[in-house]
Structure 1
């Protein structure tokens, strides 16, 4: 196999592994066995190894003694740090959106949020939530903020199943989103940022409850 063919296959394997992490098929602590993955993807081990190296560079995979490559487990302190950064970035995005968003974007945010409020917990709610946050980020009109948030979202993938699987969370999240939308529609940057930060704090609390329910180990102890 040539180097040219390994590159695209490595990228394809990388995207498939990312999708498996996002869907919850690969959970924190899952082992990545090159031979099994190569068989599953119908490729050689070389591009699989390339994909695993890329995931490791992203901070999503770690190598452990006697286990090899595994999906990384974040401890509680790391999760809190992630959400603190998310609060800063999305709070800033909301402030900017209050100044920059067009009426059509406010309407789109409202429609997505209404659909979220009416959706059942799980994958559908997760996708509507993803679209809501992406639309808000786009409305901020800051390409560097988008790039930084994209990098953070990759790390958020390894937190495991969405907290929107909690039966109470979609409705609560929609109510929190509504406060952000009202502030953006009113062009109130302070209120928009505060509402988004409150939303991210609520999401963090839901995440911590979910982690305790799954009894994820605190690696620093």
Structure 2
């Protein structure tokens, strides 16, 4: 049997392909910054580090390359792709096109009760202190994204959205933790979900546009702002 089809026991007792396990591990390391831009991704070294054979590792690296997370530095050398303010701006250009379209479609095709419940949950997540726990916020966002994907019912659009979200994790890591921005973002998502539940496609798209404008500004400002500890 090909090494790429060797299975490992997953956390819930399911079976996970070795190539999927290698991809998930490398993706987490890239998104977290454990493997920063410019890090050489050697097939043999990474296979040994993650305890898989070279065939599944080759598949995993191929997927990362297709995602734009690793690039060919020379004919024999692959490295983690760079990611800076210019990349973030390009990412948000794609987000606007995809997410505004998705919001419109969700308003037309989604289950109103599902998004009304999400709107309620976002509103309840906004405490009087104005601060939101990051883990709670991202859990709600994951639910929201999953319901958007289900509502649009378009495999091509959903695939493009998932690729953008893969890079978005890197953008979030570059920005310093801003709890007040999270609180505002919760309110913005509540408005988007409420517009979708009401079937108002234009309001859903406009609310998404405003949210993405504010999110991009916050990330870029965070990157440009000097560290409170001084230059690093």
Structure 1 length normalisation: TM-score?
A: 0.78
- Unaligned stretches of 5+ in structure 1? 216-221
Q: Is the 8 A contact 1:126 1:164 kept in 2?
A: no
Map of 2:146 onto structure 1: 134
| Secondary structure, aligned partner of 2:96 | helix
CA 1:102–1:20 in structure 2 vs 1: closer, same or farther (change >3 Å)?
Answer: same
Equivalent residue in structure 1 for 2:193, among 165, 178, 181: 181
Map of 1:86 onto structure 2: 95
Larger helix share, 1 or 2: 1
Partner Cα distance (2:81, 2:226) in 1: 15
Partner Cα distance (2:39, 2:140) in 1: 27
Q: Is the 8 A contact 1:121 1:166 kept in 2?
A: no
Q: Is the 8 A contact 1:89 1:149 kept in 2?
A: yes
Partner Cα distance (1:125, 1:162) in 2: 18
**Cα RMSD, aligned residues only:** 3.1
Map of 1:77 onto structure 2: 86
2:73 is the counterpart of 1:61: no
Map of 1:97 onto structure 2: 106
- Unaligned stretches of 5+ in structure 2? 6-16, 228-232
2:212 is the counterpart of 1:200: yes
Q: Is the 8 A contact 1:29 1:71 kept in 2?
A: yes
Partner Cα distance (2:135, 2:41) in 1: 24
Q: Aligned pairs, how many?
A: 213
1:59 Cα offset (Å): 0.9
Partner Cα distance (1:180, 1:46) in 2: 44
1:45-104 deviations in Å (ceiling 9; x for gaps): 453344223311221112436x94332113433321221111111111111222222232
CA 1:164–1:176 in structure 2 vs 1: closer, same or farther (change >3 Å)?
Answer: farther
Structure 2 length normalisation: TM-score?
A: 0.75
